Amino acid sequence: MIFSAAIVATSCKDDPNNIPVPLHLVSATTLQTIPKATLAQVGATYFGLEAALFKSDVRVVELVYKTEYPAGTPLNVSGIAAVPVDVAPNFPTMIYLHGTIVEGQAPTEVPEGYTDFALLASITQGVFLLPDYIGYGESDDVLHPYCHGPSLAQTSFDMIRAYKEHAPANFNSNIFITGYSEGGYAAVALHKKIQETSASGMKVSKTVAGSGPYDYVAFAEEFLAKDAVLDFEELGSYLWAISMFKIDYGYSRPWSQILSAEDDAKLSAINYDMGYFRPVMASINFNPHDLFQQSWREGAINGTNTEFIGHLKANSVVDFAPSDSLIFVYGDADNWVYPQSTINAYNTMKNKGNPVKAYLQEGGDHATTADLWFSVLFSRLLMEMQ
């Protein structure tokens, strides 16, 4: 289990039979129905949960729906919905945004890997939505725009709208958002999107965001200042993010002026396709001092690389002012998603009087802090049930 087109219409048109025509939903297919007894057994085995907590069988439904990427360009994407057979009408619609994954690991590709959320759906009798994101499932022919706030928010937002079209009777317009790592960042981006799209009728009930890169400026400064050999997945994810700035924000500096000559030769051979931790990336320098050209690296740190800094700021969510409850969870020993990113976001929001809280896992790295995130998530869901 893992803890880990242009859509321009704003309302449904009616067909001659007065049946609303879906604007976002393409298809909905039930993959399986998991009996309550099976979920209770899993819950007892892995989490020590009492059988009495489980209240409903859960249907796992694959949704294919419309979004747009790049903006204004139609694209079909996918995700799964964990839907209790007996839905509690007053419980928020929940959405889980997954962390960094490679190809073939998204919710529709390995739905059994996300059984945790079927457990939560049965316990709360609330609907859990799990988008694949662009670049996985139905849209796996597109490179995932890694940690790109606008597309993560739009794709998740459109899945909520697609589910509403699929099952309006089971839809609650209060939205409970959660995610960890890339998903934590995506959760805050979606919170911002919902808040800024009041015409949708949605309202955020609560957001529980774990260990996300909310402050890209501080994150880049800390990463590029390191003079040490980094972990392959850590470094690979950072390069994936930099490639996103070139693809999705149009950053104009050529790779030959960013990377060392040695590493540029290796990555140009794969057309700088740095998504999903390509194997060739294991042969590059893992020390930022050696991987990047000194002038580019120092310009990003001291702020003279103004175009790049501008893109970093545009993709940050530090200055977003949530009007609804937002909870951060982070570890102070996280060497993948640096804690300063969360600290900056929390302090900026808190100082403006926004309803935010932060839970710190002392000594927690990126893996171990996920346990605290899930614990906070579970407790908050139980509070929603009261």
CA–CA gap between residue 30 and residue 150 (Å, rounded): 29
Of 251, 286, 314, the one marking the end of a domain is 314
Other Cβ atoms less than 10 A from the Cβ of 161: the count is 20
Asked, for residue 19, whether it belongs to a domain, the answer is no
| Closest of 367, 342, 336 to residue 357, by C-alpha | 342
CB 345 within 8 A of CB 328: yes
Determine if the pTM surpasses 0.85: yes
The CATH number that applies at residue 132 is 3.40.50.1820
Residue 14 lies in a domain: no
> Which residue, chain included where needed, has tokens 């039979």?
17
On the question of pLDDT at 14 being above 50, the answer is no
pLDDT, tens digit, for every residue of 347-356?
999 999 999 9
Do both 35 and 156 map to the same domain? yes
Q: Are residues 121 and 139 in the same domain?
A: yes
Which residues sit opposite 359 in a β-bridge? 329
Whole-number pLDDT of residue 16: 41
Task: Identify the domain containing residue 310 by its residue range.
Answer: 216-314
Query: By C-alpha distance, which of 7, 350, 370 is closest to 155?
Result: 7
Pairing of strands 326-331, 356-361: parallel
Residue 12: is its pLDDT beyond 70?
no
Does some domain include residue 155? yes
Q: Tell me how far apart the alpha carbons of residues 337 and 369 are, in angstroms, rounded to a whole number.
A: 11
The answer on 224 and 210 residing in a single domain is no
Q: Are residues 62 and 188 in the same domain?
A: yes
Question: Is residue 33 domain-shared with residue 113, that is, in the same domain?
Answer: yes
Whether residue 145 sits in one domain with residue 156:
yes
d(CA 120, CA 94): 10
Residue 105 lies in a domain: yes
Angle (CA) 298-304-305 rounded to 5° is 80
The token pair at 276 is 């999903």
**274 and 336 in a common domain:** no
Residues 90 and 211 in one domain: yes
Distance CA 36, CA 166 (A): 23
> 10: which 2 tokens?
């704003």
- Other C-beta atoms closer than 10 Å to the C-beta of 273 total 14
CA distance 322 to 189: 11
Which amino acid would we find at residue 195?
Q
Return mean pLDDT, the chain: 93
CA–CA gap between residue 365 and residue 376 (Å, rounded): 17
Q: State the Cα–Cα distance between residues 83 and 33, nearest whole angstrom.
A: 9
Evaluate if residue 261 carries a pLDDT over 90: yes
Write the pLDDT tens digit of every residue in 86-136: 999 999 999 999 999 999 999 999 999 999 999 999 999 999 999 999 999
Same domain flag for 221 and 325: no
Q: Clarify whether residues 211 and 246 are in a common domain.
A: no
| Last-in-domain residue among 288, 314, 340 | 314
Which of 139, 4, 172 is closest to 68 using CA atoms?
139
Look at residue 163 and tell me if it is in a domain: yes
What pLDDT, in 10s, does the model give residues 272-327? 999 999 988 899 999 999 999 999 999 999 999 999 999 999 999 999 999 999 99
Domain holding 271: CATH number?
1.10.260
218-237 confidence digits (pLDDT tens): 999 999 999 999 999 999 99
Same domain as 150, residue 237: no
Q: Measured in whole angstroms, how far is the alpha carbon of residue 69 from the centre of its chain? A: 16
**Residue 11 pLDDT > 50, yes or no?**
no
From the centroid of its chain, how far is CA 303? 28
How many domains would you assign to the chain? 2
Q: For residue 64, is pLDDT > 70?
A: yes
Q: Does a structural domain hold residue 362? A: yes
The residue type found at 172 is N
Is the pLDDT at 9 greater than 80? The verdict is no
Q: Are residues 142 and 249 in the same domain?
A: no
pLDDT number for residue 282: 92
Phi, psi dihedrals of residue 204, rounded to the nearest 5°: -75, 125
pLDDT at 125: 98
- Structure tokens of 66? 């419309």
Kindly calculate the radius of gyration of the chain based on its CA atoms and give it in whole angstroms: 21
Read off the pLDDT of residues 20-37 as tens digits, 9 standing for 90 and up. 668 999 999 999 999 999
- Angle ∠(115,117,122) on CA atoms, nearest 5: 100
Q: Which of 263, 284, 314 is the last residue of a domain?
A: 314
Query: Is 40 part of any domain?
Result: yes
Structure tokens that stand for 77 in this block: 């994407």
CA–CA gap between residue 87 and residue 171 (Å, rounded): 9
Identify the pLDDT of residue 19. 55
Q: Is residue 17 part of a domain?
A: no
